[in-house]
Amino acid sequence: MAARYTNGLKRFVTRCCGLESYRLAADNLQELCVIHLSPTTIGNIADETAVEIAAKKESDPAFREAFQKAEGSVEFYIDGTCIPIRNEAGEREYREVRVGAYAKREPGESATPSQWGTRPLPEPTVVSAFAAIENKAEFQKRCQTERRCLGVGGVSSALGDGALWIWSLVLMVFGKTAECLDIYHALEHVSDCGKVLYGSSSAFTDWFERMRLVLLSEGFSGMERELSPLLLEEDDGGKRQSVGSLLEYLRKNAGRLNYRERLECGRVIGSGLIEGACKNLVGRRLKQTGACWRLARANRMAVICAVLYSNQWKYCWKYAN
């Protein structure tokens, strides 16, 4: 196939199908480039090109140089999302796509907890994302490989939700580092508890706003002070269970709730970058309505989507025939 298609054609095909379905990619190529290819041919070209791109990321110094030249401290983000897969028996099932990203970002201005929602935070100066349907051990190796290819030593912080596999992987890859529980996930748990306690009344709004400020200002110690009395005061077993679950969730992540200090230093406290990757890198392409992937093809498409999301596309091509 390499002899049949030019690099220019493979670039057009791969970019189109990295953004849309094979059918829509065929339509766009015909409409915009007067190139007539079947969806099946497009899929085959994309498969081959994804393998080439993955090899190029490991061997071409351009990726490393771009990351090294960017300003700012290195941040690491990690998350996962599920997509439909057709297993070996031909049955539909859901498998988790693990998504990681190395980024650099310069610090923003110092902010207080009450300024968190309005503070201007600098955009990342560079992002290198990657994704694959792999078990934890396999994805851990992938994180190490990406780290080595980019020349990353340590990271200034690692951000993710409360999943235990995330923090275990971070420890194995980086050793002890500054970990931060994504503030949006933390507040989602606080909100869920508040709705059990107060429903959707104004009392919930008042309670949630106060808890948000306590969490941002004092971390676990403040939340423990506020929540512990509720375990004794509440007669409703369901409410006590909800409060207990929230308290346990925060206790397990107590060392990752230093939001006040991070805000003072102008550092990020939310993992919106990786949430965006799950939505746009994975969701937009791999979770399209009616899609159901074979495992190998899904992983190859994830390579293409990752370089598009990371703005690394220009390093994959010399723009020559």
Query: Given this model, what pLDDT does residue 191 score?
Result: 97
Edge-first strand order for the sheet with 157-160 is 126-132, 92-105, 73-86, 157-160, 179-181
| 321 band by pLDDT with thresholds 50, 70 and 90 | very low
- 3-state DSSP assignment of residue 78: strand
> What's the pLDDT score for residue 126?
96
pLDDT at position 311 is 83
Q: Residue 180: is its pLDDT beyond 80?
A: yes
Same domain, 66 and 170: yes
Instruction: Quote the pLDDT of residue 27.
Output: 95
pLDDT-derived band at 176, boundaries 50, 70, 90: very high
Of the candidates 81, 79, 83, 98, the residue with the CA atom closest to the CA atom of residue 139: 98
HSE, CB side, 13 Å, CA atoms: give it for residue 250. 31
Query: For residue 232, what are the domain limits?
Result: 184-256
Would the pLDDT of 310 be above 60?
Answer: yes
Q: Quick one: average pLDDT of 247-267? A: 96
Q: Report the chain's mean pLDDT, rounded to a whole number.
A: 92
Average pLDDT over residues 211-239: 92
Q: What is the pLDDT of residue 3?
A: 58
Whether 162 and 285 map to the same domain: the answer is: yes
Higher pLDDT, 217 or 87: 217
User: Tokens representing 214?
Assistant: 């306590």
Amino acid making up residue 165: W
pLDDT for the residue numbered 277: 79
pTM: 0.91
- Dist. CA 306–CA 156, nearest whole Å: 23
Task: Determine the pLDDT at residue 2.
Answer: 44
Same domain? 167 vs 291: yes
Q: Where are the alpha helices (DSSP H) in 101-201?
A: 136-150, 164-174, 183-198
Pairing of strands 73-86, 157-160: parallel
Looking at the fold, whether 156 and 77 belong to one and the same domain comes out as yes
pLDDT at 1: 42
Q: How far apart are CA 118 and CA 184, in angstroms?
A: 15
Looking at the fold, whether 75 and 171 belong to one and the same domain comes out as: yes
Q: What is the b/e burial string over 83-98, where b = at least 16 CB atoms within 10 angstroms of the residue's CB?
A: bbbeeeeeeeeebbbb
| Residue 52 confidence (pLDDT) | 94
Label residue 47 by pLDDT band (50, 70, 90).
very high
74-79: average pLDDT: 94
What DSSP character marks residue 277? I
> Residue 127: which of 298, 277, 321 has the closest Cα?
277
Confidence class of residue 320 from pLDDT cuts 50, 70 and 90? very low
Q: What percent of the chain has pLDDT over 70?
A: 98
What tokens does 204 get?
């919930």
Strand pairing of 92-105 and 157-160?
A: unpaired
Same domain, 22 and 95: no
Residue 288: how many other CB atoms lie within 10 Å: 13
Q: Are strands 73-86 and 179-181 parallel, antiparallel or unpaired?
A: unpaired
Residues 280 and 170 in one domain: yes
At 185 the pLDDT is: 93
The whole-angstrom separation of Cα 265 and Cα 105 is 13
State whether 115 and 216 are in the same domain: no
> Which one-letter DSSP state was computed for residue 90?
S
Are both 24 and 138 inside the same structural domain? no
Number of folded domains in the chain?
Answer: 3
Same domain flag for 44 and 141: no
Residue 319 has pLDDT above 70, yes or no: no
